[in-house]
Amino acid sequence: MYKFKVSIIVPTYNVEQYIVPCLQSVAEQTYEDIECIVVDDCGKDESIAKAKSFVDSYSGPISYSIVHRDTNGGLSAARNTGLKTAQGEFIYFLDSDDLLQPNSIADLLQAIGGCDVCVGSYKTFVDGDVKNLFKDRTLEDKIYNGRNSVVKSYVDGFWPVMAWNKLIKHTFIEECSLLFQEGLIHEDEMWTFNMFKHIQSFATCSSVTYKYRQRPGSIMTVENPKNRSDLAKILADIVTYTANSDDSCLYEYCQYMYHFVSTAVFSNKVTIKSNMCFYNMITELPMKMESNGFWGSIMSYNINHKSFLGFYVCYTLAGLCKRGYIKLS
């Protein structure tokens, strides 16, 4: 029987309605060697007071602690604070409005084997009047070894780029300096990309290990210009890095991200006027990548995944904007 300490990091900011059910789902884990680190990101509601009340009244085997930040730094900063405190051999990020299944940690530990990372299946549920942006995801029990296999399987499977629902070796995070870039929305996309620069082995778990709540007022459901501009910057950084890299494994992942942004633009999740670096990403950068065949593979990928229309609109509009044929407002 495996015996490892797992550190569950719960960044907390203005979630007074959801924090107690979240922490209760941790308390209900069948695997008991867990420390749950609640990071206070200086919210304005009663989230931390309710978390403290729960922790004070809890008498079970799970170890709870509340770590207070001096200022609000956002999700990335809160996660980084939790990482500095974590003592477990494995790290697990849990958003404070989401829930675990009772066997989540046990199933992930059984599935991970000697891999760097394990991701489980997940279900989504809508809480309130919001659009359902995510679909349930069911994976198979499988282990992928070698970077080509890992990255290709990730891309082909369209597994989520979010940090949550991944059990990760703490030593892997430390050796690869996998901290979150602070001050950005959509930090998970860049963090996952940085992870895939180094990953050698990856496991998937068929058990549902995460319940993702979609609710009004969350980062993903609130229309925010910074949301769009940060996504554009991150995607541009990913493509720029890949264009100048000799690592062909990263091309596979970058194709996935390029597919993501082209369909996002077409569905109005990202606007063409978000950021000038976005124009550079889809007009100038591909020219630099023609010599290594990356541009052709991007087009092929979008065609194969039936999103060529989104890609074409994205590319054409960006070119027209950049050349002054369309004015930005």
Instruction: For residue 70, list its beta bridge partners.
Output: none
Residues 6+ apart with CB under 8 A from 315: 262, 282, 283
- Quote the CA–CA distance of 46 and 102 in Å, as a whole number: 26
pLDDT at 216: 64
pLDDT (tens digit, 0 to 9) for every residue of the chain, 329 residues total?
A: 578 999 999 999 999 999 999 999 999 999 999 999 999 999 999 999 999 999 999 999 999 999 999 999 999 999 999 999 999 999 999 999 999 999 999 999 999 999 999 999 999 888 766 566 667 889 999 999 988 888 777 777 656 778 999 999 999 999 999 999 998 877 888 898 888 888 899 999 999 999 998 876 555 545 566 666 677 677 777 777 776 777 777 776 666 666 665 555 545 444 444 445 555 555 554 554 444 455 455 545 444 544 444 444 445 444 444 455 444 44
Half-sphere exposure (Cβ direction) of 37: Cα atoms closer than 13 Å:
24
Domain(s) of CATH 3.90.550.10: residues in the chain: 6-214
pLDDT at 131: 62
- Quote the CA–CA distance of 173 and 175 in Å, as a whole number: 6
Determine phi and psi for 61, rounding to 5 degrees: -80, -20
- Quote the CA–CA distance of 25 and 21 in Å, as a whole number: 6
**Domain 6-214 is found in CATH 3.30.70.1520:** no
Residue 318 tokens read as: 């960006």
Residue (of 290, 224, 282, 221) closest to 257 by Cα position: 282
pLDDT at 249: 74
- Residue pair 105/92 in contact by the 8 Å Cβ criterion: yes
pLDDT at 228: 65
- Residue pair 97/218 in contact by the 8 Å Cβ criterion: yes
pLDDT at 129: 60
Residues 6+ apart with CB under 8 A from 326: 317, 320
pLDDT at 273: 47
- Residue pair 74/183 in contact by the 8 Å Cβ criterion: yes
Residue 308 tokens read as: 């060529």
